[in-house]
Amino acid sequence: MINIALIVAALMGLGIAFQPVTNAAAARFIGLAPLMVVSNGLVLIGSIIYAGLARERFSWNEIATLRPDLLLGGALYGLLILFGGIYVFPRLGATLALMIIILSQLVFGLVIDHYGLYGVPRQPMSWVRGLAIVFVIMGVLLVRIKKV
């Protein structure tokens, strides 16, 4: 049986690889501010369409009392990813930038799993998980080698 989550994760990887490169190229032509307006405008439109189709019940009072890190965190992280990608990819190249991003995601993923942050099922740190980080660090170092 095909695990749809694995397919979606692979598609997310595609998006993570191409979004910063595409944004950096677009920003060179039209500037960062117009790109931000178009990009975030499309996200807003997509969110409104999703909200209309999902028909989830919500209360503005509940939204207003939600912890700020939960309410605004995703948006702030999204801005960091957008600005960071536009800055980093042209300077480091796609492969090295993605390797460092993946390394950072894995390290913070281990912390999130170990402590069960934000309701993620708790999975304690182990030597095997630590070894996985070492292998990714080795991959980053290999990518940094200019000539073999």
Residues of the chain with pLDDT under 70: 1, 147-148
Domain boundaries along the sequence of the chain: 1-92, 93-148
Question: What was the pLDDT predicted at 135?
Answer: 93
pLDDT of amino acid 1: 67
Residue 113 has what pLDDT? 94
Burial class for 99, CB neighbours closer than 10 Å (0-12, 13-18, 19+):
buried
Instruction: In whole angstroms, give the CA distance from residue 50 to residue 44.
Output: 10
Q: What tens digit of pLDDT does each residue of 9-20 get?
A: 889 888 888 888
* Dist. CA 19–CA 77, nearest whole Å: 14
Rounded to whole angstroms, the Cα distance separating 93 from 38 reads 25
- The burial of 102, by beta-carbon neighbours within 10 Å (0-12 exposed, 13-18 middle, 19 or more buried), is given as middle
The predicted pLDDT at position 131 comes to 94
d(CA 117, CA 143): 32
Contact 137, 103 (CB under 8 A): yes
